[in-house]
Structure 1
Amino acid sequence: MANELNKDQSQTHDLRSAIELLKSTPGEYVETNVEVDPRAELSGVYRYVGAGGTCERPTRKNGPVMMFNKIKGFDDISVIIGLNGSRKRVGQFLNCEPERLGHLLKDSVQNPIAPVEVSADKAVCQEVVHLATDANFDLRKLLPAPTNTEEDAGPYITMGLCYASDPETHESDITIHRLCVQSRDELSMWLTPGRHIDAFRMKAEEAGKPLPISISIGVDPAIEIAACFEPPTTPLGFDELSVAGALRGHAVEMVKCKTINERAIAHAEIVIEGELLPNVRVREDQNTDSGKAMPEFPGYTGEAKEALPVIKVKAVTHRHNPIWRTTVGPGEEHVNMAGIPTEASILDMVNRAMPGKLLNVFAHSAGGGKLLAVMQFKKFAPVDEGRQRQAALLAFSAFPELKHVILVDEDVDIFDSDDVLWAMQTRYQGDVDTVFIPGVRCHPLDPSQTPEYSPSILQTGMSCKTIYDCTVPFHLKSHFERSKFKEVDVKRFLPDFE
């Protein structure tokens, strides 16, 4: 519904205004002037401070955003990490209750505000320009792209908003991809199957032409979240920046790039301009021979790819004293950026099929926001029995990379894992409440999806999707009522209680 939408998100119109908002909120922001090495050390620090997610333990969930003001080997540039690392912060940025974020994003897709173009004099992202034709141009010296671990294939751009357009229809798409710095002016780009920019790249390659692409780094959180929508919610030709516009309450401003025929986000801290070259491939770990890429959302380090498309960089533009934006691959940031759009997609598809029955969805942290969804379903009448499983099937269609669904009743807090597991212990019998769907494509980064792991898997990338129905059969509802406690005003006894 339109009334779910945030009509004025003026408090956070770029990265710097988002930071100022956090500084005014106790416990949400920390910074350090101690020099940090971007190679493994920076991510190593934040693992303890607030990475969360599927990161190696010990880590801290819902820790503060952290700003590193002194980066080894780089002057006049700082690095910020963890911006979207707590659901509470995302809710603060989008002026929405954390548990309603999926509903807000669903509504934003239905009420898009298209991006607009502004003149170069209004684009702070172009205050400073570095051309690749300059003799001293070197991405490795310009940009403090970190490595998450000491065995990464190289420095990675983990929060680059990649923007490109269909060479035939000129429809545009924005997404976040794994980008590894390979040389002074080259990046490798891993595109998981089905991504729209890859479709654009293949069209250009078939015509023997490069695909212009801009990479905007350091933007406001609404754009980072909206960029993570996937089909079928945002089909080919749907510009996710229009979703960000709805979330912000006003259009995202774009600017023409300096060296390529494409646009970039005008308020970005840093923009990389380049072209995806036709028929050029590079081994991802050519500079390290580590065999590893970087830590990914399931909590494991991905294998380096043998042959990835190459972006030939033409220029880097940025604000004065720019702020580099990065994230820890398996951290809670990925959960929120990927997971909240996943929730919106599931809510949209199920509500269209059976309005009012799916109350909420949580793309759980344990699945990195992609592999596991907890769905809160309400049965109103005997005829609703079984529809909860239909809702789960629709969830797999709404988000094809989803692996597991846990169904719970309306009295279970889907954001409280203890409550979800309680429902599984008391409202679930494995032999009658488990539904297996073998032989289906899932996410390629799940390491258990190999024939070596299970004989039911014919080829890598296939999976057995599973529904865990932890809802009470409707005719037994009266036997599963939770103990009722007296409603009291706790603040009468503890005035500072929250």
Structure 2
Amino acid sequence: MPVAPLHDLGAIIDALDKAGQLIRVRSEVDPVHQLASVASHFEGRAQAVLFEKVRGHEHPVFTGLYWSRELLAELIGAEEKKLASHISEKVKQWQTDPDHKTIDPQVVETGPVLEYTQPVVDLFKLPIPTHAERDGGPYIDAGVVVVRDPETGVRNASIQRFMMVDRDRLHINIDAGRHLQLALDHADKLGETLKFSLNIGVGPGLHFAAVTPAEAAPPDTDELGIASVFHGDPVELVRGDLPEVELVAHAMYSLECEIVPGELGDEGPFAEVTGYYAKVAPRPVVHVRAVHHRTNPVFQTILCGKEVWNSAGVLGEASVLGSVSKQVPGIKDVYFPHGGCGFYHAVVQIEQKRAGFAQLAVLSAFAAFPPLKMVTVVDEDVDIRNASEVEWALTTRLDPTTGVITVPAVFGHGLNPTFPNYFGAKIGFNATHPFPKTYSYERVRLKEYSIDGLDINVPEPGPRQSVVDKWVAAERAEHAAERRNSGAIM
């Protein structure tokens, strides 16, 4: 893929197109259900999708940037299997910068996002899709919130879901434990409204900054510096019309927003990371005061499923890898499998240094990423990205009497139905061999030989047939031969 500036989604889309990694849907699609359904046919490919004609709208919709780890790794210049460690190193670079002066965001006079401003706010003009059958309405699910805490003045970035309910009004779900809720609480305490920008169509660095777990980015730090590290240059911001509101200069769209503390409206249902619908509940009302966008913007959306699991999961992996490695010697790698929604299950690979370190890794992982419900620890000879290998370790190395760790009544992720009100139980599995390892746990290995230079005929596979199909074909061939022989005798 040609190198693209990571701060500019437009340049990224052009690079994908040149590399043959952009699927263009040229037929008109309905933003209500059809767009998401068509996109799902390509989910997981190392290609993204651009919908050029969205019914009732002037501008296109883009999705799929995060649903393939192969594509994502290639885009940011990392190896796919080392994606978590690559991201962990970037976050560590930000954490260890002594004064952040080289990576602090810069406020500039203007930027592409200010090329056009709606004379009157009208969200209906944005091609906001409705994804799942029971979704409560169109949702903005890939926008990055940039806010200054009214008490501390520190910037924060986050991704929340926003349901469109009117031309100038959204309802927002603020995930518990996020710094945006802290900023809203501070605004309430000061008797102020909370003002922020909602930036749609941004580069992956800003997306990563927004989904970095709070445990890795304390509330007294400016998370936008993480994006600067990924982009290689400081993030550029421009001032909005509302006081204290800053817009991402290179976003496709930026909405200036305001929340009145205590003003609530029904939000939901929405197809969430869990694969279930988030329930309807009273949640904060967002008043949109201004809509800015590029002359030719592209609206970005994220499908519930692999794209969410990867976009959030790789940052969870990076956080767990970075944190647990500091506390438990021998940690090699971490993977959040899709079966755990990329959010609730961590598989941790360890080279055991002492007995009991695997159990410590379980507890450390829970502390590093509170949304986790399950942690499985395996030895370094197990491929953590291969579900069969992990299952093999569970069935041949886990001792159920000593290797199962349960943590009752603890904070978790409220979107998981087993954590009502963000409270529930967690479980860990020590699927490692005893330490020190005995002969009984020596894994069978074949001696490696190269096949270079060997005379080997590998036939091309033909059309696949079932046993019955093969039998029928053989019967027909036999009858045809009998008829031919009969004709020859006559």
Q: Does the alignment pair 1:114 with 2:103?
A: yes
Of the three residues 214, 232, 238, the one matched with 2:215 is 232
SS at match of 1:246: helix
Aligned pairs (5 A) from 1:379-398: 379-380=352-353, 384-398=354-368
Q: Secondary structure in 2 aligned to 1:315?
A: strand
The residue aligned with 2:276 is 300
The within-5 A match list for 1:228-377 is: 228-284=211-267, 292-305=268-281, 307-329=282-304, 331-355=305-329, 357-377=330-350
Encode CA deviations 1:193-239: one digit per residue, 9 max, x unaligned. 11101111111122221111101111111221221012211111222
Give the Cα separation in 1 of the matches to 2:91 and 2:374: 25
Q: Is the 8 A contact 2:6 2:230 kept in 1?
A: no
Give the CA deviation at 1:260: 4.2
Question: Relative to structure 1, is the Cα distance of residues 63 and 444 closer, same or farther in structure 2, using a 3 angstrom cutoff?
Answer: same
Residue aligning to 2:460: none
Contact persistence 1:106–1:344 (CA under 8 A): yes
Deviation at 1:173, TM superposition (A): 0.4
2:370 to 396, 400, 403: 400
User: Given the superposition, is the C-alpha separation of residues 273 and 49 from structure 1 closer, same or farther in structure 2, using an over 3 Å criterion?
Assistant: same
Q: In the aligned structure 1, how far is the partner of 2:366 from the partner of 2:378?
A: 17
Larger deviation, residues 167-176 vs 239-248: 239-248
Q: TM (normalized to structure 1)?
A: 0.86
Q: Is 2:446 the counterpart of 1:485?
A: yes
SS of equivalent residue, structure 1 residue 474? coil
For residues 310-342 of structure 1, give each alpha carbon's deviation from its aligned partner in whole angstroms, at most 9, with x where no partner exists.
11111111111210000112x111112211111
1:250-286 superposed Cα distances (whole Å, 9 cap, x missing partner):
22111111344211211111111111122211112xx
Counterparts of 2:235 and 2:145, CA distance in 1: 15
Aligned equivalents of 2:399, 2:297: Cα separation in 1: 55
Considering Cα pairs closer than 8 Å and 6+ residues apart, tell me whether 1 or 2 has the greater RCO.
1
Contact 1:32–1:69, Cα closer than 8 Å, also in 2: yes
**CA drift at 1:478:** 3.0
- From 70, 94, 101, the equivalent of 1:88 is 70
CA distance in 2, matches of 1:448, 1:346: 22
Larger radius of gyration: 2
Partner deviation per Cα, 1:77-99 (whole Å, 9 max, x = no partner): 10011101111112112111122
- Is the 8 Å Cα contact of residues 105 and 228 (structure 2) preserved in structure 1? no
Q: Residue 47 of structure 2 contacts residue 71 of structure 2 at CA under 8 Å; is this kept in 1?
A: no
Q: SS of the counterpart of 2:156?
A: strand
Structure 2 residue corresponding to 1:427, chosen from 397, 409, 412: 397
Deviation at 1:43, TM superposition (A): 0.9
Displacement of 1:346 in angstroms is: 1.2
**How far does the alpha carbon of each residue in 1:162-189 deviate from its partner, in whole angstroms, 9 at most, with x for none?**
1111112100100000101111111111
Residues 476, 110 of structure 1: alpha-carbon distance in 2 compared, 3 angstrom cutoff: closer
* Structure 1 match to 2:472: none
Which residue in 1 is equivalent to 2:123? 139
- Aligned pairs (5 A) from 1:75-224: 75=58, 77-112=59-94, 114-121=103-110, 123-131=111-119, 134=120, 137-140=121-124, 142-224=125-207
What is the identity, as a one-letter code, of the residue corresponding to 2:165? Q
Q: What do the CA deviations read for 1:48-93 (whole angstroms, capped 9, x no partner)?
A: 220xxxxxxxxxx345311100000101x10011101111112112
Shift of 1:365: 1.2
2:118 alignment partner AA: H
8 Å contact kept, 2:144–2:158: yes
Please state how far the C-alpha of 1:491 moved relative to its aligned partner: 6.8
Secondary structure of 1:33's aligned partner: strand
Matched, 1:72 2:42: no
Q: How many residues align?
A: 448
Q: Secondary structure at the match of 2:375?
A: strand
Structure-1 separation of matches of 2:137 and 2:109: 33
Structure-2 separation of matches of 1:247 and 1:343: 17
Q: CA deviation at 1:155?
A: 0.7
Distance of 1:67 and 1:492 partners within structure 2: 46
> In the alignment, what sits opposite 2:488?
none
Q: Which runs of 5+ in 2 are unaligned?
A: 95-101, 457-490
Cα deviation for residue 492 of structure 1 reads 6.2
Of stretches 275-284 and 478-487 in structure 1, the one that deviates more from structure 2 is: 478-487
| Cα distance change, pair 127–490 in 1 and its aligned pair in 2 (3 A) | farther
Identical-residue share of aligned pairs (%): 32
Q: Which residue matches 2:23?
A: 30
CA contact (8 A) 1:173 1:237 kept: no
Structure-1 separation of matches of 2:296 and 2:433: 57
Query: Cα distance 1:24–1:412, how it changes in 2: closer, same or farther (>3 A)?
Result: farther
Q: Indicate the RMSD between aligned Cα atoms, in angstroms.
A: 2.1
